[in-house]
Chains A and B, each alone.
Chain A
């Protein structure tokens, strides 16, 4: 009952979204389709397989316990990097507008990266110390 209602409401919302796009015309539809499909492809064909390969490599290098620490650090580091990629990449901003994108983002990112590595090393060595006791 609840599921049926949710399903109908969802389909109605999708229908409304498509209706809003109805007048855009071929050129815009093409661009919208490219960006809609492009995001899926970028994730499914590039980002996700890359993470799988890194996982396989990590399994060869690190023992299971250390791997948990590395994985936690990697999740935080990688997902945050993607979340702020808009300021890290050389895109956007305006040469005539110094009040936009006016922080040292790459430096901040390097410091953040160093923090994550330090935290992972500390966590891993604590884990080892506990194992010895």
Chain B
């Protein structure tokens, strides 16, 4: 059995080792840092803290941050694989037996690396599966992806602290000892291949959010098509909204305190209409601009004399899934581009896009752009 488990010295590739690890590691660190910052930014959108005045401008901001989040996550996958490959022999390093201090420190470092690798893989795998809407686990994706992001970034920072001398030496040593190896690929070959793969992975998937890349991104989760020229994230059927949304006796309730009005869809269409080009930007990393038409939410609130500075609780008719309600903060309500859209690209909304009417506001995550709206309620 002992003979079956290799020793770290059994691995002979000259391309493995700190020079490779440090160089790929820097890029991987950049990718994870972008993921962490943009991911944290995304979480702030769901429950904006008082110290952060999130607003509707610029309308493309969330589209860019979330697109970047998913692109850098995809780009991180080849980098992580090559980095792990470059240090794999170290897994078989035999731990020290004495003195106690050495044993303890070794164990602690192993534990931190276990967390580093475990959390890193977890983030990339769970993110990849979320993008294709597959959830084969018993936890909440959003909450866990956020918590493990902290574990991951913390383990990375600890790892950098531990490895700083090794990283410095790896870069100081330069490229002198690299290309003379007669035994297969050089370090330079492997690092370049990792960067090429990382860039390709980004390019071949980014078209779901970067319009110019749509034709190149053959591995993009969405090609940009869909009913009325726009992809759908959750259909009316999946949301359990078909029956209520196609009911001909539908009315929208708008309420502020005691004041309340009920409007049919025809009445909504008779109100002053606004048309704006705004992106839908989903947490899953896809985004697309479309032309939306409908009354401004603030004009609807004016019908019930809602005070200036109100936020709005939006209720959906969907009977299944998360985000059946959303709160539009006052900064979004005040913006004339925040619409209760009736039309998409010049046609009446299709059922899957939120018929009879849906919220569309600039610079918001897609899941908060509530579809199949039942009521709007002003809140102080």
**Which chain B positions have C-beta within 8 A of A24?**
139, 143-144
Residues 50-105 (chain A) with a chain B CB within 8 angstroms:
51-52, 55, 58-59, 64, 67-68, 71-73, 75-76, 78-80, 82-87, 91-94, 96-103, 105
Chain B residue with the shortest CB-CB distance to A58: B184
B153 touches A13 (CB 8 A): yes
Is B77 an interface residue when CB atoms closer than 8 A count as contact? yes
Q: Which of A20, A27, A68 meets B184, CB within 8 Å? A: A68
Residues 124-147 (chain B) with a chain A CB within 8 angstroms:
125-126, 128-129, 131-134, 137-140, 143-144, 146-147
Interface bin, chain B: 35 or more
Q: Which of A12, A20, A100, A112 meets B143, CB within 8 Å? A: A20
Q: Residues of A within 8 Å of B, CB-based: how many? A: 73
A86 touches B128 (CB 8 A): yes
**Which chain B positions have C-beta within 8 A of A102?**
222-223, 225
Q: If A40-B118, A55-B13 touch, does A80 touch B201 (CB 8 Å cutoff)? A: yes
Is B238 an interface residue when CB atoms closer than 8 A count as contact? yes
Least Cβ–Cβ distance between B309 and chain A, in angstroms: 32
Least Cβ–Cβ distance between A7 and chain B, in angstroms: 4
Least Cβ–Cβ distance between A47 and chain B, in angstroms: 8
Is A28 an interface residue when CB atoms closer than 8 A count as contact? yes
B77 touches A79 (CB 8 A): yes
Give the dominant DSSP class at A's interface. helix
**Which chain B positions have C-beta within 8 A of A103?**
218-220, 223
Residues 29-84 (chain B) with a chain A CB within 8 angstroms:
74, 77-78, 81-82, 84
Chain A residue with the shortest CB-CB distance to B230: A99
Is B307 an interface residue when CB atoms closer than 8 A count as contact? no
**Which chain B positions have C-beta within 8 A of A52?**
11, 88
- Measured CA separation A13–B153 after assembly (Å): 7
Is B237 an interface residue when CB atoms closer than 8 A count as contact? yes
- Measured CA separation A125–B132 after assembly (Å): 40
- Measured CA separation A108–B119 after assembly (Å): 30
Chain B residue with the shortest CB-CB distance to A75: B193
**Which chain B positions have C-beta within 8 A of A37?**
118
Q: Which of B74, B162, B192 meets A72, CB within 8 Å? A: B192
Chain B residue with the shortest CB-CB distance to A104: B218
A79 touches B82 (CB 8 A): yes
**Which chain A positions have C-beta within 8 A of B88?**
44, 48, 52
Least Cβ–Cβ distance between B320 and chain A, in angstroms: 12
Q: If A3-B161, A39-B125, A68-B184 touch, does A80 touch B197 (CB 8 Å cutoff)? A: yes
Top 10 A-B pairs ranked by shortest CB distance? A92-B132, A17-B150, A13-B154, A39-B121, A99-B226, A10-B157, A79-B78, A10-B158, A14-B154, A108-B218
A-B contact pairs, 19 of them (CB 8 A): A3-B162, A7-B158, A11-B154, A13-B154, A28-B144, A31-B137, A35-B126, A37-B118, A40-B117, A43-B117, A43-B121, A47-B81, A71-B193, A75-B197, A79-B77, A84-B204, A94-B235, A101-B221, A102-B223
Q: A31-B137, A75-B194, A94-B133 are in contact. List 18 more A-B contacts (CB 8 A).
A: A3-B161, A10-B161, A13-B151, A16-B154, A17-B148, A17-B150, A20-B147, A48-B84, A59-B183, A72-B190, A79-B77, A82-B77, A92-B129, A93-B132, A100-B132, A100-B231, A100-B232, A108-B204
